[in-house]
Amino acid sequence: MRKINHIIYRFECAVGIAMMITVVLVVFASAIARSFRHPISGSMDLAQLLFVWICMFGADIALKKSIHMGVDLVVRQFPATLRKIVAIVSYALCIGFAGFSIYWGFVLVMQNYMRLYTTLKISYSFANAAIPIMSCVMLLTLIEQLVDTVKSRPLAVEAEDSDKEDLMEVQS
């Protein structure tokens, strides 16, 4: 599973960068064209569509690198075994939420398949599909991290950020 997640990670980074560059160029070109009174039809819709996917790619990348914002002031004071239990429960809750997002994301996709972006003439489902598709990808990430946490021994001290980066590179 680790190899699959790594391939997905590289894909997300490459496509996310390409999408971000596209958004910047489209919005910039649209602003310039608008200043000459020749707006580019569909530029904002395209930027919105791509931005939804960029956000979802970014969320999974952050999840893979364990760099989501968290509040661990209290948890850091717990004994190592209790910290591990809290981490397992946290992963289980996140897995449940990913399942919830997958189900309701597909419902949203199906409900909006007839709704079109006015200027692009494509379905809103292309944007909405980011939710269930990327939730599936995040589910894989969460399962891998849960398995790693269950298999690991409780750590006596939380690793420093630089140690976490080194650990992530070794695991990849």
Whose structure tokens read 């931005």?
51
**In whole angstroms, what is the distance from residue 121 CA to residue 135 CA?**
26
Question: What one-character DSSP code corresponds to residue 123?
Answer: B
Chain segment 71-80, per-residue pLDDT in tens: 778 888 899 8
Three-state SS at 116: strand
Res. 159 pLDDT band, cuts 50 70 90 = very low
In this structure, the number of other CB atoms found within 10 A of the CB of residue 35 comes to 9
**In whole angstroms, what is the distance from residue 58 CA to residue 35 CA?**
32
Which helix (H) or strand (E) is 26 found in, with range?
helix 2-35
Question: What one-character DSSP code corresponds to residue 114?
Answer: T
What is the pTM for the complete model shown? 0.80
Chain segment 25-56, per-residue pLDDT in tens: 999 999 999 999 998 989 999 999 999 999 99
Locate the domains of the chain by residue range.
2-171
Three-state SS at 83: helix
The set of residues, in sequence order, having a beta carbon less than 8 Å from that of 100 and lying 6+ positions away, is: none
Which residue type, as a one-letter code, is found at position 101? S
Among the residue ranges 31-35, 115-119, 168-172, the one predicted with the least confidence is 168-172
The set of residues, in sequence order, having a beta carbon less than 8 Å from that of 108 and lying 6+ positions away, is: 128, 131, 132
